[in-house]
Structure 1
Amino acid sequence: MSSFLSTLSPYLPPHEGLLPKWLLFISIISIGNSIQAYSTLQYTSRVYSENPSLTPHQSTPLAPHSTATPLQGRTFGTWTLIQSLVRLYAAYNISNERFFELGFLTYAVAFCHFMAEWMVFRTAKWGGPMAVPVFVSTGTLVWMWLQWGFYVQ
């Protein structure tokens, strides 16, 4: 186990604390999420699974109870990839005020998007698939806000 960590260590962000490593971890997970959004609607349709006006002919065979379409899935995948890359840069440049701000803003945009889809547009319902991005974005926003002075001098 220690040899694995020593092999991995040179590739981790060179800053103190766990926040840069968390940003890197979430970036890697999000890149995987982008890939799956391009390859299947299975997970995207679990988040965007509510629409009171959806009729059976409006759903797709890939997502029978969802308004998610292949185009929307790919768009979501592209959006997630862009946010992942910004977060990746923020992880390795966390002491740079502009990178820190950009990373912070990606979580703010994600939080606002998911809250709007749930509470305003009603295209998402609360549950596991929705809770994960909301908790990650909220927790990371609070963590970054609290750690601003530690990383940005």
Structure 2
Amino acid sequence: MASFLTQFTSYLPQHPGLLPQWLLLVSIISVGNSIQAYSTLEFTSQVYAGWSSHPGQTPSSTTSPATPLSSRTFGTWTLIQSIVRMYAAYNIDNPQIYQMAVLTYVVAWLHFMSEWWVFGTARWGRGLAGPVVVATGSLAWMWMQWGYYVPA
């Protein structure tokens, strides 16, 4: 068992602190999200649930403005962001890569907030809460940890 753990941990980012592991975890989850965005409309429809005149209505592909094309586009966008974040997990002391990872969260946050507050294609709920919490929390964490990971 110890040999397996040693081998497994050798693949994890070798930087101190939890932020690199967080970035790797979010990247892996995002790759899975990209795959599902290509294979089904179900989960994308939960994020982009649209406005409902019936509070409590369960989002579905019939109430969502998401289409198969928009789902695949979202999957591609998510995959690109996950690649940048994975690079940041392993190169967190590189200021340019760190900045690019921060920018992926800025873009994600602006996108989700504008779809909710401006365009009305998203509404607060299970589908939107996860991406908003991850983007907001990661942005704050990366902003606060800049000096710890990036040399002056």
TM score, norm. by length of structure 2: 0.91
Matched, 1:32 2:14: no
Residue segments in structure 1 that go unaligned for 5+ positions in a row: 53-61
1:69-103 per-residue CA deviation (whole Å, 9 max, x = no partner) reads: 00000000000000000000011000000000000
8 Å CA contact 1:51, 1:67 repeated in 2: no
1:95 aligned residue (93, 96, 105): 93
Alignment of 1:1-153 (within 5 A): 4-51=4-51, 63-153=61-151
Give 1:58's aligned residue: none
Identity of aligned residues (%): 62
Deviation at 1:105, TM superposition (A): 0.5
1:32-75 per-residue CA deviation (whole Å, 9 max, x = no partner) reads: 000000000000001111146xxxxxxxxx81111110000000
- What is the RMSD computed on CA atoms of the aligned residues? 1.6
- One-letter amino acid matched to 1:129: G
Distance in 1, Cα, partners of 2:125 & 2:133: 11
Secondary structure (helix, strand or coil) at the match of 1:135 reads helix
Distance in 2, Cα, partners of 1:17 & 1:5: 18
Aligned residues: 145
Distance in 2, Cα, partners of 1:29 & 1:120: 27
- One-letter amino acid matched to 2:111: H
Residue segments in structure 2 that go unaligned for 5+ positions in a row: 53-59
